[in-house]
Structure 1
Amino acid sequence: MSVFLLPLEVTKDIERTVAKYWWGSKQNNVRGIHWMSWSRMCRHKSIGGLGFRNFRDFNLALLRKQGWRFLTNPTRLVSRLFKARYFKSGNFLSSSLGDNPSFVWRSIWESMKLVQSGARWLVGNGNSIDIMRQPWLSDEQNPYVTTESQSFVNNKVSSLMNLERSGWDIEVIKDLFNDRDQECIISLQLNDIMNEDKLYWSKEASGSYSVKSAYRLLQVQKGLWNINDNASLWKKMWRIKAPPKALNLLWRALSGCLPTYVSLQL
């Protein structure tokens, strides 16, 4: 799963097996009732789910680790091989699927969108960052330049700095960019312009990519996790100091997953 994107039917089979085990009856040859859909069970515990893994999303989060390595370790042999074959003139963030791609590359390339969602450039001297198609602006929702101009092609962020490299060239920025991009660029502080540009993962405090944070980002984007609501009923329930079996029974009762007379009549 760290190298290949598993077919959807395979991940569905894995999920069905886990669900059967969870809801299965202890009696032989008796099928247990599935009281809740798998998608609801994969929701975060804070919004009524059980936090089971969505195996497709988990597969993508693992694959994104390979794409992140292409970005942060470009001198590794495997990074150099893939770069020579699929993104000669850029990096992984600006790559395309290409013609006749291998199954490994097709799998890793599927992780592109989430890598773009969490990857950010910390601007130093600006020599490593392309103005276009690179996440370097100070906008959390869209860190990419939205102004369309042929003058940006193959130009680096360093070309937007003044001659002394002490700050931005305000006149150039106001002439070339729209209002939104101007505000994002000027708000960036250039403190260490003598240092090299650094790529970091914005979803971790350490700046390093983790499968856990990538999977969490996917679930938040889908609205399946709501980890910021500290006042939710579910969070209060899971904080109760009780044996796991008791909490599981309470969760089933609150979720309507108990085989009561009323539930069985529905």
Structure 2
Amino acid sequence: MRNAGEIPIQMVFDVNIKFFHRNTSEAYREDVAQVLVVSQAPNFSKYLGLPAFVGRNTRATFSYIEDKIRQRIGSWNKKLLSQAGKEVLLKSVAQAMPTFTMSVFLLPDSVCTAIERVMNRYWWRTGNERGIHWKTWDILCALKKFGDLDFKDLLAFSLAKLGKQVWRFLTKPDSLVGMMAKVYKASGVRRRIGNGEDTLIRGHPWLPDDSDPK
């Protein structure tokens, strides 16, 4: 086992990804790369299967998830499966594919809607026919105890995954995630009072005053 402090140098460079602003001249980029003894990447690659850079066009950034799910479901169209078999495939494979990404990023509503449409079409498809959509996907996401199929609402699930990370920020201050929370708090994040039992009036930044939050 490698100790926590024995991190390979190349891993440090992988984690600390730097990029130039789009208005930076090519000559200046070459000078910086020469001083730092690094080479410029032609594009932003992925790290651990996740996009290393997320710009304003989030739909384009996360469209690869939609493409992967579309290809996977397309390979199932040739199989003759019962509705129970389709349910198992959709829940165990298609809905599980974006889970890792959702634990880090909030997927755009447009991407979630597009993925749900692909799954909805596959669910109502009968053989080579498109089939009739007797119910909307929102209804199919209702719980089984209400008579529906308990499929995931992907946008709500993405919010829940990120909410879990926030909960770890608050409940595990000594973990690695908790240390990140301390950095956020030191950067000006305000404290919610709640019942006030754990709030130090003179020690915690709880006032909406930038000059004197304590």
Class of the TM-score when normalised by the shorter of the 2 chains: 0.3 to 0.5
Task: Give TM-score scaled by structure 2 length.
Answer: 0.41
